[in-house]
């Protein structure tokens, strides 16, 4: 092996990302997996070489349809693989299909990086956004119902206020109640405006 070839081999062997070559014709299975696979998934390269179906066995069922796109050309996919401990790891794969002279897909070479922590953070943020929107919807509904109740109460008090023969103390109490309800109605209207979905 030339000096450059040996240097390249060492770089691949020491890389923290998983580097692999998977054959799809003749001898199905992994033709090469670098040692990083042990750190990422807990399996050795020999375990990958021994089982041609290990790729599909470890792949999350929901992600299996994604690999059908590999023949379309180089692509980047985030796939969930189950490690030896039974936990799911998110791996960002950079695939490059290999075709024979007839144009048939015969192998796939790829580099996979463990992005589990980032994927979990993204999922957590999406959940927080969804929970916030759900809370906003509840508040919008409550504010709408409260506004309707306040408007009805103001209308009834206004009718009572204009009746004849009311004692001054009663008129004063109605005026005070009307002022309070009007203020509350304005505050609810302001809240509705603040939580209204942006266009």
For 116-170, what is each residue's pLDDT tens digit?
Answer: 888 777 766 676 666 777 777 777 777 777 777 878 777 777 777 777 677 777 7
Helix 116-161 and helix 168-195: axis angle, to 10°?
160
Task: Kindly state whether residues 38 and 132 are assigned to the same domain.
Answer: no
Q: Please, which pLDDT band fits residue 112 given cuts at 50, 70 and 90? A: very high
| Residue 180 confidence class, pLDDT cut points 50, 70, 90 | confident
Cβ(95)–Cβ(72) below 8 Å: no
| Calpha distance 80→61 (Å, rounded) | 9
Does 50 have pLDDT greater than 70?
yes
197 is written with which tokens?
């979905």
Residue range of the domain that includes 178:
123-195
Q: Could you tell me how far CA 173 lies from the centroid of its own chain? A: 55
For residue 67, the domain's CATH number is: 3.30.450.20
* Structural domain ending residue among the three candidates 114, 141, 169: 114
For 161, list phi and psi in degrees, rounded to 5. -60, -30
Considering the domain architecture, whether residues 108 and 188 belong to the same structural domain is answered as no
pLDDT value of position 189: 79
pLDDT score of 13: 84
**pTM score, two decimals?**
0.58
Sheet with 18-23: strands ordered across: 29-33, 18-23, 105-114, 88-99, 75-82
């Amino acid at each position: 092996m030339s000096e450059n070839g040996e240097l390249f081999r060492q770089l691949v062997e020491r890389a923290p990302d998983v580097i692999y070559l998977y054959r799809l014709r003749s001898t199905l299975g992994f033709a090469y997996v670098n040692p990083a696979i042990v750190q990422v998934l807990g399996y050795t390269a020999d375990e990958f070489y021994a089982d041609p179906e290990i790729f599909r066995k470890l792949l999350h069922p929901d992600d299996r349809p994604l690999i059908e796109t590999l023949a379309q050309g180089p692509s980047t996919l985030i796939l969930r693989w189950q490690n030896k401990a039974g936990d799911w790891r998110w791996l960002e794969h950079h695939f490059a299909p290999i075709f024979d002279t007839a144009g048939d897909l015969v192998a796939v070479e790829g580099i996979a990086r463990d992005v589990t922590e980032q994927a979990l953070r993204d999922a957590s943020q999406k959940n927080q956004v969804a929970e916030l929107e759900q809370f906003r919807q509840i508040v919008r509904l409550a504010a709408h119902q409260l506004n309707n109740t306040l408007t009805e109460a103001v209308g009834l008090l206004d009718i009572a206020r204009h009746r004849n023969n009311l004692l001054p103390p009663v008129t004063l109490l109605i005026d005070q109640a009307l002022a309070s309800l009007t203020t509350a109605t304005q505050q609810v209207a302001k809240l509705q405006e603040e939580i209204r979905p942006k266009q």
